[in-house]
Amino acid sequence: MSNKQLITNVGIGLAAASAGILARKTLQKSWEKVTNEPAPKDKESENTDLKEAVTWAVVSGIGAGVARMAVQYVMDKRQSK
């Protein structure tokens, strides 16, 4: 693998990770607006209902995963041109 390919792959990975983090932060803000409560952070918390914790895990996992996949897809398409 050449240096250029390595740098490109690292860049794609960083972009995908950043997109996942940004998506999660955006979802946290949206969750707070919709529910008027902060997003569940600690599964051990007595204030967090199981249904709420599972819903948050699904929503945040899908959102961050889709964001990372979208960035990866776009960057791969760009690289193949």
pLDDT in tens, 42-80: 666 667 788 888 898 899 999 988 988 888 888 878 777
Which residues fall within 8 angstroms of residue 63, CB to CB, at 6 or more apart? 23, 24, 26, 27
Domain ranges of the chain: 1-41, 48-80
Least confident of 15-19, 31-35, 40-44: 40-44
CA distance 32 to 4: 42
Q: Is this model's pTM higher than 0.95 or not?
A: no
State the average pLDDT for the chain. 84
How many residues does this entry show for the chain? 81
Whether the pLDDT of residue 81 is over 70: the answer is no
Whether the pLDDT of residue 30 is over 90: the answer is yes
Whether the pLDDT of residue 39 is over 80: the answer is yes
